[in-house]
Amino acid sequence: MIMTTDVRRIQLYDTTLRDGAQSAGIHFSAEDKKRIARRLASFGMDWIEGGWPGASPTDDCFFELMRDRAWSHSRLVAFGSTARPGHPASEDPGLARLVACGADAVCIFGKSWDLHVTTGLGIDLQTNLDLVRESVAWLKLHVDTVLFDAEHFFDGYAANRDYAMQVLAAAADAGADSLVLCDTNGGSLPEQIGACVRQVVARYPDLTIGIHAHNDSEMAVANAVSAVSAGASHVQGTINGLGERCGNTNLISVIPVLKLKMGVNCGVSTESLRKLRRLSTFVNEMANQLPWQHQPFVGQNAFAHKGGIHVSAVRKASHLYEHIDPASVGNAQRVLVSNQAGRSNILAKLQQLEPDAIVDDAAVVRAVQRIKEMEATGYAFEGADASFQLLLRRATGQFRRHFELVSFRVYDEKRGHDEAPESEATVQVRVNGRLLHTAALGSGPVNAMDKALRAALTGAYPGLEDMRLTDFKVRVLSTKDATEAAVRVLIESSDGVRKWNTVGVSTDVLEATYRALNDAIEYKLVMDQVASEGEQVITDGSL
């Protein structure tokens, strides 16, 4: 860990609501944006770029909704471009909207790569310098803080250094408070960024120099960190790295790097840092994105240990295979049980699930063998803690079957192309020596089987009334012979208080379903029994 005595205060500038909204597949409503903005403000973000007034009714509505904000720290920023060529800045409707929208500050982008000036805007180089200067100067007459995003700065610096620096000078001379250097195409490398930022910082020691990096070369976080090391004191980015094309600097990674590894003050308290995972999850939900399970720091797998060697070591000292304490960013260690496991995985997992359990070594060895045999046939216990716990109970002789299946039969009948199919299941089970026989209709064969099985058992086990199947996933497992392919069924169940996951595998999807259902029901009965006997209830998640 590199800890420095850097005393700078690094400003965090979030552009999730502007650059993040430019991600393919992301659509924020004005209300969504308001909720995210509020969350970012309560996290303690210094700057929150809300959008581009005038670009869309959503952004206009958002700025209207934000007029009654009462933030103690964060400042709302309106984003836009320099004046359009041909308009004096004072008559440019775009600049006027930036001033009128009620934001605390304005950020405009301007071209700093000569090629973009001549080819993109189609104007000469001097006219662009005038546009930048006049736009910033006019804005400074009306708003306190003006930030200037030098678009394509690093490409511009490589192509025509003098011109790129003249663009910065035009903005600085006109009164810009911050010069933000943009790696707009995301193609620069950390060394280039560092060298370039160092030059700009040396030239403008009294201005805030910022970095805005895109992730097209998977370098955005590294480039932001390199810029800070080279003297930048303002980092732009988004939550979860949302943004145009491959995204933007991921603040969810940059923040802990700055705070925990570089020892730089970015204004995020230890308490706020512990909310990092929740902030990431919240934005995923608002953006309707599935969480990235391998996401550094906050992903479900960021501190998940699978290999037996790793688990053996983290049980002795967690930092042997963990670069930070997971709790510092609101995450937690996970131990996975799979065919990569050794005894340590089993013991660590058991300790998480049943801290008081005492299991002898021979039983653990049996459990490891059994897991590896079952995984070889297609089982996967990583996402099925309840099946894993039952397996352990079986290996340790602590399992008593609550019912015995005698038979099941499932019909699925469809009459005509446009008619909905009907499913019916009949089940015979033996409970305490009594033969019970039930039938049930369902919205599909799985639903019918689940209903019939629980209907047969609720007389003997009333707790099953509350149990529901809440998720059902089928995965076809590839084999040499596709017609013989096995399927893996993962079921999530809930009783309104707890939820748990089980797995079943077979070449027959209904048989695989039955196995997963059987574990789900047995697990519920074991939990109820443990609870009524006053032992600790074992669960792999709570609602």
What is the DSSP secondary structure assignment for residue 24, as one 8-state letter?
Answer: T
To the nearest whole angstrom, how small is the minimum distance from the Cβ of residue 65 to ligand CC(=O)C(=O)O?
Answer: 23
Residue 63 found at the interface with ligand ACO (CB under 6 A) = no
Tell me: does residue 111 bind ligand ACO (CB under 6 A): yes
- CA-nearest of 405, 457, 460, 461 to 429 is 405
Q: Could you tell which of ligand CC(=O)C(=O)O, ligand ACO, none binds residue 479, using a CB distance below 5 to 8 A set by kind?
A: none
* Smallest distance, ligand ACO to C-beta of residue 170, A: 13
| Helices and strands per DSSP (H, E), number in the chain | 18, 16
Tokens of residue 132, six digits: 């930048």
Cβ–Cβ under 8 Å, residues 277 and 55: no
Q: Where are the alpha helices (DSSP H) in 204-321?
A: 220-229, 251-256, 270-273, 276-287, 308-316
- Interacting partner of 75 out of ligand CC(=O)C(=O)O, ligand ACO, none (Cβ under 5 to 8 A depending on kind): none
Tokens 């089993």 sit on residue: 346
252, 280 contact by CB (below 8 A): yes
Q: Is the dihedral of CA 84, 89, 92, 94 positive or negative?
A: positive
Among 15, 82, 344, 493, binds ligand ACO (CB under 6 A): 82
Rounded Cα gap, residues 252 and 240, in angstroms? 6
Q: Report the distance separating Cα 110 and Cα 128, nearest Å.
A: 8
Stretch that binds ligand ACO, among 81-89, 337-345, 376-384, 498-506 (CB under 6 A): 81-89
Contact 196, 209 (CB under 8 A): no
- 109, 138, 154, 408: residue in contact with ligand ACO (rule CB under 6 A): 109
Per rule CB under 6 A, is residue 182 in the interface with ligand CC(=O)C(=O)O?
Answer: yes
Looking up tokens 């599935």, which residue turns up?
290
Q: Which of 14, 17, 19, 303 binds ligand CC(=O)C(=O)O (CB under 6 A)?
A: 19
Phi, psi of 76, rounded to the nearest 5 degrees: -85, 135
User: How many angstroms separate the CA atoms of 443 and 445, rounded?
Assistant: 7
84 is an interface residue for ligand ACO by CB under 6 A: yes
Count, residues near ligand ACO per rule CB under 6 A: 15
**349 touches ligand CC(=O)C(=O)O by CB under 6 A:** no
Euclidean distance between CA atoms 110 and 120, whole angstroms:
11
Question: Residues near 22 by Cβ (< 8 Å), separated by ≥ 6?
Answer: 243, 244
Q: Which is nearer to ligand CC(=O)C(=O)O, 245 or 400 (CB)?
A: 245
Number of C-beta neighbours around residue 206 at 10 A: 5
Q: Tell me how far apart the alpha carbons of residues 518 and 405 are, in angstroms, rounded to a whole number.
A: 9
Let me know: does 387 contact 381? Beta carbons within 8 Å.
Answer: yes
**Of the residues 151, 155, 495, 522, which one makes contact with ligand CC(=O)C(=O)O according to CB under 6 A:** 151
Contact (Cβ atoms closer than 8 angstroms) between residue 215 and residue 241: yes
- Are 410 and 425 in contact by the 8 Å Cβ rule? The answer is yes
Please pick, from the candidates 28, 43, 47, 52, the single residue that binds ligand ACO as defined by CB under 6 A: 52
* Shortest Å distance, C-beta 53 to ligand CC(=O)C(=O)O: 16
386 in the Ramachandran plot: left (φ > 0), alpha (ψ -120 to 50) or beta? alpha
The least distance separating ligand CC(=O)C(=O)O from the CB of residue 336, rounded to whole angstroms, comes to 38
Pick from 50, 110, 237, 256: which binds ligand ACO (CB under 6 A)?
Answer: 110
Helices (H), 354-444: 361-376, 385-395
Q: Considering the rule CB under 6 A, would residue 28 count as an interface residue with ligand ACO?
A: no
Residue 111: name its binding partner from ligand ACO, ligand CC(=O)C(=O)O, none (Cβ under 5 to 8 Å by kind): ligand ACO
Which residue in the set 112, 160, 184, 423 belongs to the binding site for ligand ACO (CB under 6 A)? 184
From candidates 151, 177, 492, 528, binder to ligand ACO by CB under 6 A: 151
Q: Give the shortest CB-182-to-ligand CC(=O)C(=O)O separation in angstroms.
A: 3
Site for ligand ACO in 458-497 (CB under 6 A): none
User: Which is closer to ligand CC(=O)C(=O)O, CB of 249 or CB of 331?
Assistant: 249
Instruction: Kindly tell me which of 130 and 511 has the beta carbon lying closer to ligand ACO.
Output: 130
> Which positions touch ligand CC(=O)C(=O)O (CB under 6 A)?
19, 109, 149, 151, 182, 184, 212, 214
> Which positions touch ligand ACO (CB under 6 A)?
22, 52, 55-56, 81-82, 84, 109-111, 120-121, 151, 184, 244
